[in-house]
Structure 1
Amino acid sequence: MAEEWKDKVIQEKLGGKKDWTDEERAELCRQLDEELESHIDAMGKTRYKGGWTEENWKEQMAEHPLFAPYIQEEGATQAEAPINPLSEGLAQLKFDPDHNTPEGNYRSAIKDCEKAVELKTDYLKAVVRAVDCATKLNSWDEVFHWCDRGLRLDPTNQKLKTDRLTALKEKKLLERNARKMARDENKKATEEQNLINAIKNSGVQLGSTVLKGSSSISLSDLEPCHPAAQGSRVHFNESGELVWPVMLLYPEHHETDIIQEFPESDHIIDHLEVIFGKEAAPAPWDTEHKYQVNNLHVFFEDKEKTKLCKVDPNQTLQQVLRDPRYHVLGGTPGFIILVEGSRFMKDFVSKYSI
């Protein structure tokens, strides 16, 4: 096959002439170089994508000027064209898409170094190469192994000494970070358990379960369901009291407000003053300016949602949440706000027993 390709080149480039002069040989080499460069330029300057696979390697080789002469021409039968050793070898390659990665290449290189030192135990160059690859993989124990092996061959090798010292520092840093992460996770778990215990011992009822004396509560039970309250889960403040996200519902206008941090010691009226006090701008949906702090009523639904329970706005959130009729749903206490004497309030309240 190689002779056929050679004859083909001679025929195309030199018209079949075989007694080449030095000038003709140089000209042939120049032409072949130009053709190869032209082919590479024609492939474009974009980043190479889509490597050779088991399915396309033959087509890829057929387009390459170096390999094209070895590929069986289209239409030729297997009997007409002998199997080229290069083609046969490529066909037997095992394609592994995960191998051709930086990590896979470094790991493969270390295996090659292992084989090399098996054949030549004092092959220091292979040892140094393994150290470099293990360093790239951040595999510090392997770096120690290869550095120690190399220093037994060359105790004065400064590179191996430096690499080993660097690996020792990096491993200590890794271990320190792991210990810190473990401490942080333990601290977080302790804080979360303290939070759960505080809620359980307070007697707050979550959903339909009475938490006091129960061990069934979990943090997932305390995650707010309303999108506006996400990230505002109940927590302790600096004074050690529970702080809840609280939802105010205005059914007349199908609107809601989320108070992301409502300490249990705060009174309901304190927050109503901020939202509906004299200094507060009316809500965009309150076009009639009916929602004034002095003519608002606060309610909550009982567990069965059949009874509307009136709330004294001068009570603290803690007092309301300890009411045996109250149940915290979705980790977010909620209250219904209605305007006193309005037609909507009369209609709304008539649907419940009070």
Structure 2
Amino acid sequence: MASSALQDDSDDGMDEFMDKFKTQKYKNAFSESNWQEEFEKVPMFMKTAPEEINPQTHPELACLQSIIHDDDRPPEEQAKCLKDEGNEYFKEKDYKKAILTYTAGLKKNCSDQDINTVLLTNRAAAHFHLGNMRSALNDAVAAKKIKPDHLKALIRGAQCCMELRNFAEAIQWCDAGLKLHPTDKKLQELRAAADKQKRAAERDARKAKAKEKKEHSEKEALLAAIKLFFEDEEETLYQVDPETSLLKALQHKRCFVKAGTPSFIVLVKGSSFWKQFLTGKKTQRL
């Protein structure tokens, strides 16, 4: 009898609850019209998580989230859960949410430096995919400070420098990494690419400098060859320094403006027209 009574107590009215369905229909049962929609509300069967978790529409998911973010748990456990959550966002290519989640994990200030390093390198990867190269590089630097031999941090730092076209720094990252991981193919490939790009950039810089120098010389030669004059009413020519401002030239007492338009004569020194035009002319310097 005691055993029977104990069994009745343990059932907790389950038999009575189940008997109801012989005469009554379960109110919350899935129907043929809405079963797919209802399945999407069950965390285990969700294909994508909602943008915002509303306890009214997704009570099960809200409950799971509260468990995951329970502040009563140790910081290490909370940071690890946030790392895993961020990884799921990363897999879905939702890099902005991944960054927010990794950041939340770092704010837990857990004592497990391995978790902190992974949070930083994973956040660096998310920033990298969004094109935030400076932020990604900062995270790689921070991860390297915690664990100087962390391979992913070393690779990410080199990649960021490559994207920022700081090839010399990229080589430094690769060299530091290859000292610790001499056989890593990714670092070897990045080192070769960075060296090639650095040489190309230096070559382009030399070409640009030579071109600039040539253009400057041509400009100087042109300015030296060009001679400016204005003519007074007595047909006397006054030579004007090309570097002289227009205002200063117009303020000369022998310079006259006709019809509201100042006019100057431009000649190339040493040309045949120069010699022909100046023949018999009076010239003076300002």
Structure 1 length-normalised TM: 0.36
Decide which structure has greater strand share. 1
Structure 2 length-normalised TM: 0.44
Higher relative CO (Cα under 8 Å, sequence separation at least 6) belongs to 1
Decide which structure has greater helix share. 2
